[in-house]
């Protein structure tokens, strides 16, 4: 039975290679291009978290000179939702809008621009430290989600560019 499953898996892999299937990040030119992006994020906690997430998501190669610069602008707002009987918010929405421009450092030309809107919610707590921890967790989740959206956008851009 195991031999049959192994043979079926091998045939499936051969079929995928024969049909021209290539994962998005295995395309030549995509991974090296994304690793050559220098991140410029605004100061502050959210900017730091976003830059950290993007450096991880793009697998930034800090040993090589950058080819591109990613300029980020962050707009963050927090809205109180779910009022209690004493008119105090028990839930909050954190709206994060990250707009970005990808600049080719050779010519100084903007080659890609976009935005990554993210909304996360969190519950407030009566204990002060728990409320701060919940807010910080929401900021971390929003930064991670925005970084993933930007990574996908940039991956699609570099895939289309390498196909030309």
pLDDT digit string, tens, across residues 54-66 = 998 888 888 888 8
Q: Name the 3-class secondary structure at 82.
A: strand
Percent of the chain clearing pLDDT 70 (strictly above): 80
The answer, yes or no, to whether residue 113 has pLDDT greater than 90, is yes
Domains along the chain with CATH numbers: 25-163 (3.30.160.150)
Which stretch of 8-17, 75-84, 110-119, 126-135 has the lowest confidence by average pLDDT? 8-17
The kind and range of the H/E element at 95 are: strand 89-104
Residue 45: CB atoms within 10 A of its CB come to: 12
């Amino acid at each position: 039975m195991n031999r049959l499953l192994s043979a079926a898996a091998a045939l499936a892999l051969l079929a995928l290679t024969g049909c021209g299937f290539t994962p998005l990040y295995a395309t030549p030119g995509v991974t090296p291009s994304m690793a050559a992006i220098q991140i410029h994020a605004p100061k502050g906690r959210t900017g730091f978290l976003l830059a950290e997430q993007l450096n991880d998501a793009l697998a930034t190669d800090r040993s090589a000179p950058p080819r591109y610069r990613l300029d980020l602008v962050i707009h963050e707002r927090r809205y109180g939702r779910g009022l209690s009987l004493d008119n105090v918010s028990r839930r909050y929405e954190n709206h994060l809008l990250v707009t970005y421009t990808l600049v080719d450092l050779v010519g100084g030309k903007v080659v890609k621009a976009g935005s990554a809107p993210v909304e996360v919610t969190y519950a407030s707590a009566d204990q002060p430290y728990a409320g701060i921890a919940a807010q910080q967790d929401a900021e971390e989740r929003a930064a991670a989600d925005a970084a993933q959206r930007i990574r996908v956008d940039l991956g699609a851009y570099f895939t289309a560019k390498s196909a030309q």
